[in-house]
Amino acid sequence: MLAESQGVERLHTSGLLLDLTLASDPQLLCVVRAAIERLTEVSGFSPPECRSITRAVDEAVANVMRHAYGSSPDKRIDVSCKRIAGMVNGIQREGLEIELLDQGVPFDQKKLTARSLDEVKPGGLGLHFIRDSMDVMEHSHKDGVNRLRLVKYFSAEGKGQTSQGE
Amino acid sequence: MQIAARRLDQVTIFDITGHIDLANSPELRKVLLKELKETKTPRVILNLTGVRYIDSSGVASLVEGLKAARDQGLRFILYGLSPSAREVLQLSRLIKIFEVFDNEQQALA
């Protein structure tokens, strides 16, 4: 459902907003980006935040394709997006939660450290982009499934926050 | 992504359009490294006016191009960055290591 809010078409639906299942083929990254970009727009995020969230999800899905599935293009990736609300540091917050599921190689904690930005070298930037863009980044592995949970909160003005943690 | 080359005297301009991501950044890397390591054109310019999106693998290809240029003593120049492309280079703090111009005239000067 779309409704006019503060001059922006805001999505007022709560709970599940979008459920995508895709093959681990990099040619499909543009499809994911298009879907997330539009979803963040109708959710009411600002244009820079829309680009930022889209970039984070794109990098996260690309990491699954490259690292979890070793560039095998025919594996399954699930991406679901929900509108969430809850208390964060004693403040009522609303936000967008994006969950990625895959059945690939478990996350290697040692490799989950973004490289220093003082180094001029290719690679290692994806994690940095994700952490920079999102308020929450959590990963877990259970019963053969990798789960990555990303959250971006709205500010009181309807724009996303840049605070860390949950 | 599409790449078209314009070869001028001592300069090659690559007009790149579309999105640069994991699906095609290896192709970009291959084209750049061939131009810089084999052809050894003194000045290689990337026209990014038609590029709306660059992911981390695309940035990695640009960094490899820059390193190859430096190794060969060549110039590697970017121009026409979209807001998204500029944000990515700023986020990675790499924008300061590239020669970046607003337009082709400046890049050729």
CATH for B2-108 is 3.30.750.24
The Cα angle at residue B99 between residues B97 and B102, in degrees rounded to 5: 130
Residue A7, pLDDT above cutoff 60:
no
Asked casually if ipTM beats, i.e. exceeds, 0.85, the reply is: yes
A68 in B contact zone (CB under 8 Å): no
With beta carbons less than 8 A apart as the criterion, state whether B66 and B96 touch: no
The answer to whether B21 contacts chain A (CB < 8 Å) is yes
Q: Which of B53, B88, B91 sits opposite A33 (nearest CB)?
A: B53
Q: Could you tell me which residues come within 8 angstroms of residue A156 by beta carbon, excluding any fewer than 6 positions away?
A: none
Cα–Cα distance between A57 and A54 in angstroms, integer?
A: 5
Closest CA relative to residue A79, chosen from A106, A58, A49, A94: A58
Going along A34-128, which residue ranges are E strands? 76-88, 91-102
In Å, how far from its chain's centre is CA A70?
21
pLDDT (tens, 9 = 90+) of chain B, 109 residues, equals: 999 999 999 999 999 999 999 999 999 999 999 999 999 999 999 999 999 999 999 999 999 999 999 999 999 999 999 998 999 999 988 999 999 999 999 999 9
Chain A residues within an 8 Å CB radius of B23: 26-27, 29-30
Tens digits of per-residue pLDDT, A97-120? 999 999 999 977 666 665 565 565
